[in-house]
Structures are given as structure tokens and as C-alpha cells.
């Protein structure tokens, strides 16, 4: 299918926003803050958490949340269409609060991994539904400004999360990283309950049964199988062993079969059919996927560089991460505003991926004795590219599609990002672990538990090692992380190539009135005893029609 603009570009009417609109946006911001704080604070505290819980399989501790998020996300588009945005969002907020509570009470690493999975189910759903709600309320041509607002929230979380996570971990109070989510959950749920008054369809059980319950276990099972192989490879079993090759092959085949089944045999597929029809939309999803891998590698393994090679504590590593954590949201904000002003998205994608590729290249130059100017400057360069692509990759996904596809398109976008983040943490962890196996002194490795993922549990021990051994361990981490950055540089290059599929399509200025706020405030006049409200109706083409002006006896 040729990538043509399917929406009504002629409808350029502006949507004035009343108090309730901004309260709904505030609720969405609060939900975004949940995920942002959780992700940024846990990354710096995870070495301490794994050490305190006397665990070793750090890859599962890092990826359990994203795996669970991936599991639920393909269903979100269908759920919010069947049951409405509000009830589904409230359910996910409650599920995230439950997961946060039981994570804070975990007594060992296995318990934490299982409970992080529960938390991930809620967290992934929250982010996906809030993205859908914002898309419902804001036309694509104005989306950049609101993406800038969300990016500001991430900027705050990136500035506050790592130091707070490091401080709580250093003081032995890391459990409060999970408990502090509860008041934010309460605030966001209250705002959603009171002000998100949108269309709620009367769904039936039959509609739920018609959703794609076949593809979900295939893609999740395939992913788990590949992750298991990457976790075992070179550590528990040789890479050439059947214990590694069998799950790796089975998982890869399962993931490939998943897309074939979705495209040909499922009536209500999780994978939107337009993914296979528009190359511009496909390029956007590919960009989101490669960006998810790259960004997660930075978030999880750059703190390892600071703590293992620079011997910083959790607090200082969070501060040292400012070069990335602050630059990413800042450039995301600028990209959103710039895209709104110029109405184009292709140049930003090309520029962003070029900067990311170069950024990982220079990051690989870091050594155990690199200066602050080097590791901060390299982070700023890389963070700029990650921030640009974070925002600009969404536009080619939505631009070719009618707004009736927004819910499924955004749900699959969040699924793609979460799926990629799982790969980012696992790929980086497997490379780092195998690199350490080759580079650390054999006499030292013999003192560590065999056949385990020892990377995170080893980090807190490095400052107390005797001088000659400490230098060798620091060098081993530095050289192993360099390989991680090289691999991410190659992945970023593929992300740049995906832009070649992208066409520049005008950004529509209309929206789907079906999911707009009930009785939207277009204008208010309190000069008399009441409030003037323009009620908007709609016909089958979703056109904006002003049908009535009423004067209420009392203000809303």
C-alpha cells in the first residue's frame, strides 16, 4: 500500500482546553512519573539490591519487569477498545501498586524477580493506556508540545531517580524505592477516577474471548526461551552446547512464527495488520525497537562502569549519570516542540540515529581512568541522540494511519519498546558476563559461585579487593563494557538504516471524537449567572460540528 495521508488534513480546527482537560493530562503525567522513577532509580540501586538479597542471576532481576510488561502490552489496544480507557487504566494502576508493595517486602532475589514481574504487568499497561489517552485528546500535529511535557517529567525523574535510588541503596533502605510508588499511585488513580470522563463501551465476554490468546503465549514463550539461552551461554553451558542452541533456536523460530501467524491466521491479531502494509509505519516501529535496545543498555550498564571501574558508590554513580539522564529528556523536549513547528519528522530521525551511532562509538573509548570531562562529554553526545529518536520515532508510526487505529498502534508501540528493552538488558548482560569470564583472573573467578550471573553481586565487593587484584578487575569491567558499546554502535547503525523506509507524510490536525472528554469545554462565559458551554457533536466522519450553546444555571 502506498503511504498516503489517510486523515483529513483540511480539518485544522484548534481544540480549546478547559480545566478538566489539564487535570486529565496531570493524571497521565502522574502515571508516567511512576514508570520514570521506577526505571531510573532501580538501575543505580540494583547492584546493592542483588548483593543484599544474596542473589547472582542479575539478568533476571533486571529484565523481569520488562518481560512482564511485554506480556500484557499486546492486549492493551483490544482491552481499551472493548472496556474503555478509564476502567482499564484504573486496573493497571492498582496492579502496579500491588506489585510495588510486594516488591518492597521481598526477602530473596527469587521473590523479587517474581514480584517485579507482577509490577511490570501494571507498569506496562499504565504507560500504554496513558499514551492512548493523550493521543485521543491531542491531534498529531500538536502532539510534540505534549510529548515535551511528558519529557519534562522524565527529565525530573532522571535528575532525581538515580541519586535517590543510590542514596536509599547505600543506606540499606532500598525497599522504599518500591514503597514510594504508593502515594503516586493514589494520586493518579484519584485524578483518573474524578476527571477522565470518556466514552465507556458496553463490552461483552464474547468480545474478550475473540482477542488473540494464541499469539501471546507464542511470543512470550519464544522470548523467554531466547533469554534463557543468552543467560546460560558461556556461563552455565558452552555456547555450542545443546542446552544453549536448542532454546535459542526454538525461541527464534517461535518469534518468527508469531509474526506469520498474526499476519495470516488470526482474525483479531495483536500485531496491527497495517504494520505489514505501510513501510513508513514499519520504519517507525523498527526505530522504536532499536532505540529500546540501545537506551536500556545505557540505563543499566553505564552505572556499572561508574561503580565497577571508577569505584563510585550508588549515590555518586547516579550523579555521574546526569550527562545521559538529563540530556535525553532535554533533547526530547526540543524535538517535540521543533516537530510541532515544522510539521516534519524524517530529518530528526536521521540526525538522531547518526548521533547515537557516533555516541556509542566514543563511549567505547572510556577506560578505568578516563577523566570526568570524557565520560560526561560522551554521555551528553549519546543522550542527545537518544532524546531525539525517543520522540521522533512515534510520528512515522501514526502519520500514515487513520486515527481510529491509534489505540492498537500505540499499544503495539509500547509493546515494541518494552520487548526491545528486555533484549537490551539481556544482550548487554550476556556480553558483559562473558567478557568478564575471559578477562578476570582465573584464581579470582574460582572464588565466585560457579554457573551464576555474578556481575551485579561482584560490583559492591570491588572497592575492598587488594590493590593488584582490584586493578585487574577494574580493567576487566572496562574492557568488557567496551564490547557492549561496540555492539550497541552496530545496532544503532541498523536503526539509522531503518530510516530509509520512511516517507514524509503530513501530520493531521484532527482527532477521534469518539474517545474525547464528555462535554468538552470549548468556551466559558461567567459574566452572567452561569457558564456558556459549546457542545460538540459528531457525524460518521468524525467532523467537528457545533450543535448547541447552553447557559447553565450553575457553573460546572
**Domain coordinates in residue numbering, the chain:** 19-211+268-501, 522-551
297-319: per-residue pLDDT in tens?
888 788 888 888 998 877 787 77
Question: Is residue 372 pLDDT above 60, yes or no?
Answer: yes
What is the arithmetic mean of pLDDT over 205-223?
Answer: 74
3-state SS track over 122-141: HHHHHHHHHHHHHHHHCCHH
Contact criterion met (CB below 8 Å) for 133 and 85? yes
Q: At what angle do helices 327-342 and 346-363 cross, to 10 degrees?
A: 160
What is the rounded CA–CA span in Å between residue 134 and residue 147? Answer: 9
Q: Which residue has the higher pLDDT, 459 or 39?
A: 459
Rounded CA-CA distance 66/360 in Å is 23
DSSP state of 506: P
Number of H helices, E strands in the chain: 21, 2
Mean pLDDT computed over 261-285: 78
Contacts of 346 (CB under 8 A, 6+ apart): 396, 499, 502, 503, 504
pLDDT-derived band at 284 (thresholds 50, 70, 90) equals very high
Residues contacting 468, CB < 8 A, separation 6+: none
pLDDT of residue 534: 31
- Dump pLDDT digits (tens) for 401-429: 776 677 777 778 877 887 787 788 778 88
Among 20, 8, 39, 123, which Cα is nearest to 522's? 20
Nearest to 403 by CA among 240, 235, 266, 515: 515
Which of the residue ranges 385-394, 438-447, 518-527 has the most confident prediction, judged by mean pLDDT? 385-394
Can you give 162-203 as a three-state secondary structure string?
A: HHHHHHHHHCCCCCHHHHCHHHHHHHHHHHHHHHCCECCCCC
Cα–Cα dist 216/64, whole Å: 17
The secondary structure element, H or E, covering residue 89 is helix 85-104
Mean pLDDT of 472-500: 93
Is the separation of the CB atoms in 161 and 303 below 8 Å? Answer: no
* Interval 78-103: pLDDT, tens: 788 788 888 889 999 999 999 889 98
| pLDDT of 269 strictly over 60 | yes
For residues 38 and 122, what is the distance between their CA atoms, to the nearest angstrom?
Answer: 12
Upper half-sphere CA count for residue 540 (Cβ side, 13 Å): 0
| DSSP label at residue 532 | E
Residue 543 has pLDDT above 60, yes or no: no
Cell of 461: 565487593
Q: Which fold has domain 19-211+268-501?
A: Growth Hormone; Chain: A; (1.20.1250)
Number of CB atoms found within 10 A of residue 22's CB: 12
Given pLDDT bands bounded at 50, 70 and 90, which one contains residue 9? Answer: very low
Say how many Å lie between the first and final Cα of the chain, rounded. 47
Most confident region among 158-162, 401-405, 467-471, 506-510 by mean pLDDT: 467-471
CA angle 184, 188, 192 (to 5 degrees): 170
Dihedral sign for Cα atoms in the order 446, 447, 451, 456: negative
Residue 41: Cβ within 10 Å count: 29
Q: Cβ-count burial of 88 within 10 angstroms (0-12 exposed, 13-18 middle, 19+ buried)? A: buried
More confident call, 492 vs 237: 492
- Hey, what's the torsion of the CAs at 32, 20, 129, 205, to 10 degrees? 150
Q: How far is CA 129 from CA 160, 265, 269, 314, 413, in A?
A: 25, 27, 18, 33, 11
Distances (CA, A) of 454 to 51, 56, 125, 480: 10, 5, 32, 14
CA angle, residues 397, 399, 403, in degrees to nearest 5: 95
| Burial group, residue 540, by CB count within 10 angstroms (0-12, 13-18, 19+) | exposed
Give the C-alpha separation, 233 to 434, whole Å: 8
Q: Contact 382/360 with Cβ under 8 angstroms?
A: yes
490 and 361 Cβ atoms separated by less than 8 Å: no
> What is the C-alpha separation between 238 and 235, in angstroms, rounded?
7
- Highest mean pLDDT of the ranges 234-238, 465-469, 505-509, 520-524: 465-469
Confidence of residue 525 (pLDDT cuts 50, 70, 90): very low
* pLDDT exceeds 60 at position 554: no
Mean pLDDT to the nearest integer, 450-463: 71
Q: How confident is the model at residue 283 (pLDDT cuts 50, 70, 90)?
A: very high
Q: Considering only residues 121 and 291, tell me which one the structure prediction assigns the higher pLDDT.
A: 291
Residue for grid cell 524524517: 346
Three cell numbers, residue 33 = 512519573
For residue 163, with 0-12 CB atoms within 10 Å meaning exposed, 13-18 middle and 19 or more buried, which class applies? Answer: buried
| CA 64-245-451 angle, 5° bins | 60
Alpha-carbon radius of gyration of the chain: 24
pLDDT at 556: 31
Q: Which cell numbers hold the place of 220?
A: 512470550
Q: How many angstroms separate the CA atoms of 185 and 322, rounded?
A: 26
pTM over 0.85: no
Mean of the per-residue pLDDT values for the chain?
77
Q: Is the pLDDT of residue 204 over 60?
A: yes
Cell of 436: 568478564
Backbone angles phi, psi at 370, to 5 degrees: -65, 150
Q: What is d(CA 28, CA 544) in angstroms, rounded to the nearest whole number?
A: 25
Residue 386: per-residue pLDDT: 93
Residue 538 carries which DSSP code? E
Closest by alpha carbon to 421, among 122, 80, 84, 67? Answer: 67
Residue range 325-345: average pLDDT?
A: 85
Amino acid at each position: 500500500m502506498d503511504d498516503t495521508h489517510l486523515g483529513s488534513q483540511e480539518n485544522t480546527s484548534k481544540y480549546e482546553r478547559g480545566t478538566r482537560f489539564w487535570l486529565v493530562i496531570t493524571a497521565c503525567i502522574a502515571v508516567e512519573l511512576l514508570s520514570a522513577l521506577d526505571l531510573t532509580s532501580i538501575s543505580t540501586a540494583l547492584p546493592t539490591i542483588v548483593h543484599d538479597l544474596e542473589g547472582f542471576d542479575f539478568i533476571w532481576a533486571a529484565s523481569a519487569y520488562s518481560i512482564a510488561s511485554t506480556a500484557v502490552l499486546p492486549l492493551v489496544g483490544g482491552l481499551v477498545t472493548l472496556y474503555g480507557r478509564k476502567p482499564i487504566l484504573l486496573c493497571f494502576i492498582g496492579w502496579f501498586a500491588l506489585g510495588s508493595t510486594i516488591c518492597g517486602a521481598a526477602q530473596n532475589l527469587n521473590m523479587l524477580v517474581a514480584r517485579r514481574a507482577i509490577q511490570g504487568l501494571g507498569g506496562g499497561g499504565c504507560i500504554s493506556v496513558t499514551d492512548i489517552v493523550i493521543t485521543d485528546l491531542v491531534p498529531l500535529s500538536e502532539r510534540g508540545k505534549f510529548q515535551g511535557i511528558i519529557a519534562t517529567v522524565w527529565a525530573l525523574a532522571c535528575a532525581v531517580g538515580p541519586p535517590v535510588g543510590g542514596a536509599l541503596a547505600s543506606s540499606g533502605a532500598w525497599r522504599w524505592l518500591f514503597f514510594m510508588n504508593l502515594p503516586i499511585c493514589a494520586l493518579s488513580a484519584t485524578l483518573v477516577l474524578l476527571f477522565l470522563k470518556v466514552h465507556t463501551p458496553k463490552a461483552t465476554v464474547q468480545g474478550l474471548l475473540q482477542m488473540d490468546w494464541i499469539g501471546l503465549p507464542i511470543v512470550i514463550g519464544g522470548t523467554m526461551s531466547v533469554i534463557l539461552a543468552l543467560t546460560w551461554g558461556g556461563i552455565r553451558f558452552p555456547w555450542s552446547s545443546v542446552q544453549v542452541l536448542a532454546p535459542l533456536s526454538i525461541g527464534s523460530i517461535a518469534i518468527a512464527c508469531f509474526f506469520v501467524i498474526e499476519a495470516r491466521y488470526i482474525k483479531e491479531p495483536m500485531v496491527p495488520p497495517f504494520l505489514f502494509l505501510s513501510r513508513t509505519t514499519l520504519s517507525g516501529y523498527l526505530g522504536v525497537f532499536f532505540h529500546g535496545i540501545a537506551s536500556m543498555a545505557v540505563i543499566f550498564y553505564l552505572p556499572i562502569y561508574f561503580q565497577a571501574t571508577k569505584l563510585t558508590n550508588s549515590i555518586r554513580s547516579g550523579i555521574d549519570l546526569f550527562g545521559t539522564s538529563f540530556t535525553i529528556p532535554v533533547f526530547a523536549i526540543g524535538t517535540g516542540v521543533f516537530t510541532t513547528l515544522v510539521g516534519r519528522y524524517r530529518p530528526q530521525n536521521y540526525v538522531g540515529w547518526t548521533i547515537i551511532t557516533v555516541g556509542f562509538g566514543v563511549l567505547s573509548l572510556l577506560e578505568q581512568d578516563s577523566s570526568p570531562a570524557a565520560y560526561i562529554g560522551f554521555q551528553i553526545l549519546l543522550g542527545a541522540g537518544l532524546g531525539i529518536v525517543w520522540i521522533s520515532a512515534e510520528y512515522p508510526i501514526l502519520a500514515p494511519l487513520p486515527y481510529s487505529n491509534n489505540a492498537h498502534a500505540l499499544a503495539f508501540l509500547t509493546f515494541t519498546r518494552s520487548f526491545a528493552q528486555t533484549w537490551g538488558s539481556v544482550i548487554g548482560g550476556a556480553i558483559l558476563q562473558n567478557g568478564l569470564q575471559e578477562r578476570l583472573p582465573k584464581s579470582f573467578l574460582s572464588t565466585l559461585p560457579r554457573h551464576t550471573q555474578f556481575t551485579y553481586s561482584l560490583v559492591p565487593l570491588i572497592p575492598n579487593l587488594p590493590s593488584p587484584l582490584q586493578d585487574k578487575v577494574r580493567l576487566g569491567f572496562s574492557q568488557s563494557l567496551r564490547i557492549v558499546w561496540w555492539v550497541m554502535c552496530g545496532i544503532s547503525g541498523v536503526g539509522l538504516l531503518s530510516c530509509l523506509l520512511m516517507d514524509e507524510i503530513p501530520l493531521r490536525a484532527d482527532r477521534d471524537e469518539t474517545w474525547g472528554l464528555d462535554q468538552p469545554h470549548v468556551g466559558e462565559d461567567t459574566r452572567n449567572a452561569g457558564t456558556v458551554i459549546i457542545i460538540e457533536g459528531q457525524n460518521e466522519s468524525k467532523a467537528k460540528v457545533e450543535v448547541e450553546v447552553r447557559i447553565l444555571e450553575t457553573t460546572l
